[in-house]
């Protein structure tokens, strides 16, 4: 791993990853749609502005790269109505464009960032990589399709492939679900549903970075898929109470009954159908707050 191309380099994970790669002396090319405020003379990072659908941009970004870390994706958003076509365009077609631009004998390793959503939205027990995927969202379906495209391209062109499936990622710079939960607790607008004893796997962003660097360094690993988690599953109550303590807030000792929450979720669904836009609380949000979603990271730990 001498020269690395990181796509989506200005995103949450990308920012941490680019810094870690530079810290170990890798020569980094960083591709993103917006590189404003990212160009730092003498930093050792070659920032390139562009997308996956411009062949000239891809040729320039891939020049000399032996390792590609592919982060670009349209991610799941409960606040918007799913547009399957747009998920497919970015997550599948965009990934194919990148793979087509990888020349045999040049790129030796492609590391693809996927999601546990490519497997399922809920779990009974703890799932590992042997679980037969059955995604139920446009995001999950397109991430799974892109995983297979990466695998097939590696076989056809002779480079190694590694897929990292991530659960909810948290850490400095995150603006996703954990950030929104923190903001809701801070404003006194978060309430547990039931007792909040359902468990979720999560992963700290620096653990994601360490996993990435580990598989990038190891040239003896076969093409494979790895789940990456903290190794600890958290109940929603544990998360809520930890956030409240960190903010100096007193946790509310009781939650909203499940029956009331289901009614509110149905109202949110109906409102979304009327307005054409997902409301903040609907059946999807309810499932996320009350369902288990647990995964084993034993394979990558070994």
pLDDT the model gives residue 123: 84
Q: Is the pTM of this model over 0.95?
A: no
Domains along the chain with CATH numbers = 3-169+204-229+296-301 (3.40.50.720)
Tens digit of each residue's pLDDT, the chain (302 residues): 789 999 999 999 999 999 999 999 999 999 999 888 765 545 779 999 999 999 999 999 999 999 999 999 998 665 555 688 999 999 999 999 999 999 888 999 999 999 999 999 888 899 999 999 999 999 999 999 999 999 999 999 999 999 999 999 999 998 888 888 899 899 988 888 888 899 999 999 999 999 999 999 988 888 899 999 999 999 999 999 999 999 999 888 788 888 888 888 888 888 888 887 767 677 877 777 778 899 999 999 98
- At 35, give phi and psi (nearest 5°): -115, 15
Nearest to 194 by CA among 244, 259, 288: 259
């Amino acid at each position: 791993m001498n020269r690395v191309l990181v796509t989506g380099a200005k995103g949450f994970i990308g920012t941490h990853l680019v810094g870690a790669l530079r810290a170990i002396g890798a020569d980094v090319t960083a591709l993103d749609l917006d590189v404003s405020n990212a160009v730092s003379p003498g930093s050792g990072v070659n920032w390139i502005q562009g997308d996956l659908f411009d062949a000239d941009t891809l040729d320039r970004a891939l020049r000399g790269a032996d390792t590609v870390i592919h982060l670009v994706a349209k991610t799941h958003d409960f606040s918007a109505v799913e547009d399957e076509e747009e998920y497919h365009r970015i997550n599948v077609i965009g990934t194919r464009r990148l793979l087509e631009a990888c020349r045999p004998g040049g790129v030796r390793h492609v590391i693809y960032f996927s999601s546990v959503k490519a497997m399922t939205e809920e779990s009974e027990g703890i799932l590992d990589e042997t679980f037969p995927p059955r995604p139920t969202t446009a995001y999950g379906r397109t991430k799974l399709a892109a995983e297979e495209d990466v695998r097939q391209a590696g076989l056809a062109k002779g480079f190694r492939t590694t897929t990292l499936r991530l659960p909810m990622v948290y850490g400095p710079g995150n603006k996703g679900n954990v950030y929104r939960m923190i903001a809701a607790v801070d404003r006194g607008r978060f309430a547990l549903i039931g007792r909040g004893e359902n468990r979720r796997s999560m992963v700290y962003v620096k653990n994601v970075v360490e996993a990435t660097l580990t598989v990038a360094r190891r040239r003896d690993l076969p093409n494979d898929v790895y789940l990456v988690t903290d190794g600890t599953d958290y109940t929603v109550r544990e998360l809520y109470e930890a956030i409240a303590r960190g903010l100096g807030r007193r946790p509310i000792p009781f939650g909203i009954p499940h029956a009331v929450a289901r009614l509110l979720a149905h109202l949110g669904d109906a409102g979304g159908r009327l307005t054409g836009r997902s409301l903040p609380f609907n059946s999807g949000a309810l499932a996320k707050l009350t369902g288990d979603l647990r995964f084993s990271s034993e394979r990558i730990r070994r």
